[in-house]
Chain A
């Protein structure tokens, strides 16, 4: 241990800043400012809402309760029957009461059909629809949409459950902001104690996903409403024709809504507790799927966002730019620099890796503290502090490597179209028509 610190200090003493800057400029001019800006914006947005625009939210609530529209909770899924009970229970406890629940079973091969039909019979859900043949999540969601009656559609995953006030909170933005085409809820991990994998994701959902969404939303460039919890006005969904073939259909839908001129809002107080993968392999698989859609949708299907034509919007452009820059470009940069260091100056790594680790550890600690200020359940969040030292490795290596692999295999091999997450028959057609 002693020698480890000695190496770092001796290296620190002998390396001049120009060498460090040469190899790691992106850390200093991109990541450190990014972290700082993110945190300032997050704190500002959160506290402004909590204290300054409190009355606005109060009057929005009055408007909502006066109108009291019917809300459809749409739950499409394949083999998700075992999660339904928890989801239904969380719906019964909602503070907003005018709800219909529509569960769509996408050709499940387990007991989902029986479970769903039983819930329907008992009146615990309003409608249970079953597609005898698996058609993919998009078709299931579209089927549910067709037979729903609500003014707003709350799309949630069967393995998610909502906080008691989540639906109410997610509806309020529609009564505050103009031209809102969708509201994304704030996702929390509900199975954080299952494994180290899920604990790390707990931190990630709080520290990275939630925070970055608060920021992009306040900048007007929020572009992925998670399938786990999103709210859309029915008339907007009908205009864009509902969901298109996945994987990545949630981000795709959000872009389609943005393209017809609507804004998208992230509501941090509308909390959805979701079930995350508990082992690394499953997590990697999930993230490969998520990351592939960056290439598939941002660079391919919706490539027109980049082109200045009559439908061009700067906010859409920047939402893509932010996504592609921080996702793709920085990852590639990181890879190139890592290779360069390994090839040209491998002994520098001995100094650089620990230093970088320390820098990011510091940044993530700061971020942790900021999160602590805004999260609801502070005690629980604080108990995870011992995992923060692992966080730079989780985000910096595991996630980055998975992401990069996903970009490459989608770019060169169109792997998202081979993903068994979606039935082949639809993926084949989607690829044929560039969807």
Chain B
């Protein structure tokens, strides 16, 4: 069944895509101005959007694509697919009223670009074209589902595999910056696994002797009267604190006693070390690598915008 084509406000032709998404088949670009995805299968939608992004024809990879707000509930479980960030967002019931200026801008840009670009294989250029057509900056997006916690979904969609997509995506942006096509603005700094670049890291105290992280921390108590110092456990007697050295009850913190520090106890039976300055160990949840904080990769997070040079290059 051919996909339905509707004519909406301002004569914008919208094509509702459903079955071609199941088949991951890209429809004819010329038969409609915009595409509206009318398929509730998140994975298939994602595959389709990626195919669009990776397409070499600017009429396709620049095509304005919208998701249906009514289908949002089906996509909700698959937040990590970043569907919203792989297209132009949601519309309500083919109502494009408030999107008209946005769509017109894109269509205009596509028209202009069609005169200069027929096919594009260079990923950096493709992305520059896209962001030019949207008049948008390349923004990062924070998500616990992203490998490092910060992702550029559209850039990363150009590559397969999470780690590769992450690394190649960053390289692409870096090349863009180095060749003066992109200008970057600092946004944040993040520490990520030195092996897999994951930002899903578990930091915990470790025994400096045996590297065990099963530790117990105990609070020290100093009894002023007799200068006895021991962990709180030694003082606890039922509900009260009683000094094991002089048998006096400790009543007021700051008057009878204070808590001058804490001690870590290593619960590794062979080690049993007691210490105050634990090491910090970092465990990568993603690739299970153990590392020290100093071994982590430090990454700066930027937003990117097109430079005048980039725009000039498009039209030359």
Interface residue from B224, B246, B254, B260 paired with A131 (Cβ < 8 Å): B260
Give CA–CA (A426, B246) in the complex, Å. Answer: 14
Give CA–CA (A432, B276) in the complex, Å. Answer: 33
> A283-326 toward B: CB 8 Å interface, digit per residue (1/0)?
00000000000000000000000000000000000000000000
| Chain A residues, Cβ within 8 Å of B22 | none
Given contacts A131-B261, A147-B274, contact A429 B228 (CB under 8 A): no
> Within 8 Å of chain B (Cβ to Cβ): is A51?
no
Q: A133, B227: Cβ atoms under 8 Å?
A: no
Give CA–CA (A146, B227) in the complex, Å. Answer: 12
**Among residues 239 to 269 in chain B, which have CB atoms less than 8 Å away from a CB atom of chain A?**
245-246, 254-256, 258, 260-261, 263
Most chain A C-beta atoms within 10 Å of own C-beta, residue among B230, B254, B261: B261
| Chain B residues, Cβ within 8 Å of A185 | none
Give CA–CA (A241, B246) in the complex, Å. Answer: 8
> Within 8 Å of chain A (Cβ to Cβ): is B229?
yes
Interface range for A:
20 to 34
Q: B260, A132: Cβ atoms under 8 Å?
A: yes
> Within 8 Å of chain A (Cβ to Cβ): is B167?
no
> Within 8 Å of chain B (Cβ to Cβ): is A243?
yes
Given contacts A107-B260, A146-B230, contact A241 B245 (CB under 8 A): yes
Q: B227, A244: Cβ atoms under 8 Å?
A: yes
> Within 8 Å of chain A (Cβ to Cβ): is B59?
no
Give CA–CA (A129, B254) in the complex, Å. Answer: 21
**Among residues 124 to 175 in chain A, which have CB atoms less than 8 Å away from a CB atom of chain B?**
127-133, 135-136, 138-140, 142-143, 146-147
Closest Cβ of chain B to A409, distance in Å, is 23
Interface residue from B224, B226, B255, B261 paired with A130 (Cβ < 8 Å): B261
Most chain A C-beta atoms within 10 Å of own C-beta, residue among B226, B245, B246: B226
> Within 8 Å of chain A (Cβ to Cβ): is B277?
yes
Closest Cβ of chain A to B309, distance in Å, is 50
Closest Cβ of chain B to A109, distance in Å, is 14
> B20-56 toward A: CB 8 Å interface, digit per residue (1/0)?
0000000000000000000000000000000000000
Give CA–CA (A117, B208) in the complex, Å. Answer: 12
Interface residue from A133, A241, A243, A244 paired with B260 (Cβ < 8 Å): A133
Given contacts A117-B277, A241-B246, contact A139 B229 (CB under 8 A): yes
Closest Cβ of chain B to A388, distance in Å, is 41
> Within 8 Å of chain B (Cβ to Cβ): is A251?
no
| Chain B residues, Cβ within 8 Å of A428 | 224
> Within 8 Å of chain B (Cβ to Cβ): is A43?
no
> A240-265 toward B: CB 8 Å interface, digit per residue (1/0)?
01111100010000000000000000
Interface range for B:
20 to 34
| Chain B residues, Cβ within 8 Å of A361 | none
| Chain A residues, Cβ within 8 Å of B275 | 127
> Within 8 Å of chain B (Cβ to Cβ): is A425?
yes
> A394-435 toward B: CB 8 Å interface, digit per residue (1/0)?
000000000000000000000000000000011011101101
| Chain B residues, Cβ within 8 Å of A31 | none
Give CA–CA (A432, B248) in the complex, Å. Answer: 13
Interface residue from A121, A127, A142 paired with B228 (Cβ < 8 Å): A142
> Within 8 Å of chain B (Cβ to Cβ): is A120?
yes
Give CA–CA (A238, B113) in the complex, Å. Answer: 87
Name the residue of chain B whose CB is nearest to the CB of A135. Answer: B222
Q: B276, A143: Cβ atoms under 8 Å?
A: no
Interface residue from A107, A129, A429 paired with B276 (Cβ < 8 Å): A129
Q: Which A residues lie at the B interface, using CB under 8 A?
A: 107, 117, 120-121, 127-133, 135-136, 138-140, 142-143, 146-147, 241-245, 249, 425-426, 428-430, 432-433, 435
